[in-house]
Amino acid sequence: MYNRLGDIMAKDMSVFSRRLKELREKKGLTQERLGNILNISRKTISSYESGKAQPPIDTLHKLAQILDTSTDYLLGLTNDPRPWPERLGIIMPEEGEKIIPVYNSACAGNSGSYPDGSTVVEYLKISDDIPAQFGVIVHGDSMEPEICDGDIVLVNKDLTIKNNDKVLVIVGRPYFPELLALVKIYREAPDGHKYLISRNEKYPPILLNGAEVTLIAKVVEVRRRYH
């Protein structure tokens, strides 16, 4: 596995140089014009295209955005020139819209910053006024009939959690041997005990006090897409 941008580019610098030039010309940009957009010199762009120099990673990302492609394509890691959102079958947002990533409900990471270690499975276009940061696909029937298997919950991890809010919670021991993402109802009792409640009565409440909890994030909307 390559650990640094330089390792990847050193493998075949000619791929990056050739694709950069092809995409620049396809956009109708001169070296000088592209340099002006990036606030660097025409000579620097020329050195990228001749293989004499490598761009820093922030410049690489800017090049991908300007040329409507991905860094993977520029680096020769894929032959699909489309940016990631377009590869996943969505169109770019219009005014008043935004795009958020959607993750599977499995939580692979343990740093407490969901979705740490997870993979984007799709992108979702939503209205700008929805305070969601990302979406998570729900699995299981514990929140039926309100939230069903396959639904997508839109989540914001920075909003204040109140009693009876629907939440995405990452819980581990003693309930689960590994961290698991759950969608439940948050309930705090007068005695200070905090619980996760299911809509489906066959699932007992989960007591959060004393449990391994790395994140509680507020669900701001539910999207039913697979029913």
pLDDT at 193: 93
Residues 35 and 42 sit within 8 Å (Cβ to Cβ): yes
With a pLDDT cut of 90, the percent of the chain lying above it is: 33
Domains of the chain as residue ranges with CATH: 5-82 (1.10.260.40), 90-227 (2.10.109.10)
Residue 25 phi, psi dihedral angles, 5° rounding: -65, -35
Q: CB neighbours of 191 closer than 8 A, spacing ≥ 6?
A: none
Q: CB neighbours of 4 closer than 8 A, spacing ≥ 6?
A: none
How large is the average pLDDT for residues 7-20?
A: 74
With a pLDDT cut of 70, the percent of the chain lying above it is: 83
Cα pseudo-dihedral 222, 158, 109, 214, rounded to 10: -100
How large is the average pLDDT for residues 60-81?
A: 85
CA–CA gap between residue 122 and residue 197 (Å, rounded):
28
Pairing status of strand 97-103 against strand 134-137: parallel
Is pLDDT at 49 greater than 90 in this prediction?
Answer: yes
How large is the average pLDDT for residues 191-215?
A: 88
- Three-state SS letters, the chain: CCCCHHHHHHHCHHHHHHHHHHHHHHCCCCHHHHHHHHCCCHHHHHHHHHCCCCCCHHHHHHHHHHCCCCHHHHCCCCCCCCCHHHHCCCCCCCCCEEEEEEECCCCCCCCCCCCCCCCEEEEEEEECCCCCCEEEECCCCCCCCCCCCCCEEEEECCCCCCCCCEEEEEECCCCCCCCEEEEEEEEECCCCCEEEECCCCCCCCEECCCCCEEEEEEEEEEECCCC
Reported as a pLDDT band with limits 50, 70 and 90, residue 56 is: confident
